[in-house]
Amino acid sequence: MVTEINRAVPAPEAIIRRKSLPSALVLWSSAVFGMQIGVGRLGYGLALPAIRHSLQGDYALYGAINAASLGGYLAGALLAPLLMRRVNALVLASSAVAGAALAASAFAGNELAFGVARTAFGIASGVTLVAAAVQTLESVEAARRGETSAVMWAGIGVGLAFSALGTSWLLHAALNWRIASFVAGVLTLTAGLGYGAVARRVTVVTPCSGAARMPGRSVRFNWRDLFRPRRFLFLCLSYSAFGFAYIAFATFIVASLDARLSPNSANATIERLWALYGLTSVVGALAVGWLLERPLGRGAMAFAGFAGAAGCAVAVVWPQAAVPSAILVGLGLTATPAAATAFARARSTRTTAPFAIAAITVAVGVGQLIGPLAAGIAADHLGLSSVALVAGCVYLLGAALAVADAVAAREAIA
């Protein structure tokens, strides 16, 4: 299928020139990513024992609820390029919906209501993150996009570390997860408002915003590139495997520790694990930002995938080593999407960037959709310890595909 959109050709002075505003926009986009993924999405795994105690149900059910939320994220990512005529308003509106959905989940009286709220959050989050990623990357020079992508995705790790502060308070109280969900909703809205306030002062001509008003030459976006090894095929497959593996691990690692350890030991271990999971993911993202500016940058996703596989292997062979396992998995948690987003933007033009970033977001969304379902079924039938084995195998597959992508990309350049 071929999509044609008119490309606006802005004068050089129309593109952003003030350095302070792009820096602020990058930091606010990092806050948006931190709240919507680090707290809103991954915090689900941290709160799962308390949610399950309050609403009842088996692990397969809560895996399915998370899959529905991530399916909504996939749908939102597909919608985002079609809605980007006013990108500032889009990020603000979708952040408001995401915040409202998180807050509404706090009042859910049963599994169905909770699942509906989480799905609405997923849809709004998909729209927000694609739109914010496109606008933020277009606000900086091409040479800084790898670094910018790293800072943007590093916000997830900050969100994880922030949510770790309430682990002991959150873990075994039926009411506290509801309070946490409501507060997370308010903070998600606040991050969206901050981003919107800065974005209004930043002139970034996106293809979709300019197309409605300005004539220009036509640029083709060919979805068949997704099936071409030297373009997006291996990138999308690797990113999809990452989506499966990381969400399977993150959804059930806390439940696994909570079921295996005594309450006092579990609280301390989980709090330490979640904080280090977040902090090491910041380190991983920033390291990839540095790596992307160098020849080895093509292998960034492979390095992150092998780190995740090693972390899962540690969890399988040595179940007591939960913290070292989380550190290794955390190194690839935000490094992988930071690299994938930078690669997608580098393989597209200003006009086709929204579609390229939406395409890889859909790819990771498919993996995220399947991961919680498969992991939940494995947990119910084989025990929670089997989740790390499943995730590790898929991490390894994703790393191998990332190597194939790096080789294909190098051949395409040569």
pLDDT digit string, tens, across residues 24-46: 889 999 999 999 998 998 888 88
- 6 has which bridge partners? 218
Judged by DSSP in three states, 219 sits in strand
Q: In this model, does residue 95 exceed pLDDT 90?
A: yes
pLDDT of residue 23: 83
Angle at 42 between CA 99 and CA 324, to 5 degrees: 155
pLDDT of residue 222: 66
pLDDT digit string, tens, across residues 218-276: 334 466 777 887 788 999 999 999 999 998 888 888 778 777 777 677 777 878 888 88
**If we measure between CA atoms, which residue out of 303, 280, 279 comes closest to residue 292?**
303
Cα–Cα distance list, 301 to 149, 160, 263, 339 (Å): 13, 21, 37, 6
Q: Token digits for 312?
A: 């899962």
According to DSSP, residue 208 is labeled: H
pLDDT digit string, tens, across residues 327-356: 899 999 999 999 999 898 888 888 888 888
Distance CA 143, CA 307 (A): 27
pLDDT of residue 172: 64
Bigger pLDDT: 280 vs 174: 280
Distance CA 135, CA 353 (A): 10
Helices (H) and strands (E) in the chain, counts: 16, 2
pLDDT of residue 241: 96
For residue 68, give every residue at least 6 positions away whose Cβ sits within 8 Å of its Cβ, in sequence order, or none: 115, 118, 119, 122
Question: Which of the following CATH numbers is that of domain 18-210+223-413: 3.40.50.1860, 1.10.238.10, 3.40.50.1820, 1.20.1250.20?
Answer: 1.20.1250.20
Distance CA 376, CA 11 (A): 53
For residue 132, give every residue at least 6 positions away whose Cβ sits within 8 Å of its Cβ, in sequence order, or none: 29, 32, 33, 91, 152, 195
Residue carrying the six token digits 């790390």: 388
What percentage of the chain exceeds 90 in pLDDT? Answer: 32
pLDDT of residue 165: 79
- Ordered by start, the domain boundaries in the chain are 18-210+223-413
What percentage of the chain exceeds 70 in pLDDT? Answer: 86
Class of residue 213 by CB neighbours under 10 A (exposed 0-12, middle 13-18, buried 19+): exposed
Which letter, b or e, does each residue of 390-410 get, where b requires 16 or more Cβ atoms within 10 Å of its Cβ?
A: bbbbbbbbbbbbbbbbbbbbe
Residue 22: pLDDT band (50, 70, 90) is low
- 5 has which bridge partners? 219
For residue 393, give every residue at least 6 positions away whose Cβ sits within 8 Å of its Cβ, in sequence order, or none: none
Q: Could you tell me the sign of the dihedral formed by the alpha carbons of 189, 191, 194, 198, in that order?
A: negative
pLDDT digit string, tens, across residues 109-168: 899 999 999 999 999 999 999 899 888 888 888 778 888 888 999 999 999 888 887 777
Which letter, b or e, does each residue of 189-209 get, where b requires 16 or more Cβ atoms within 10 Å of its Cβ?
A: bebbebbbebbeebebbbbbb
Find the mean pLDDT for residues 54-81.
86
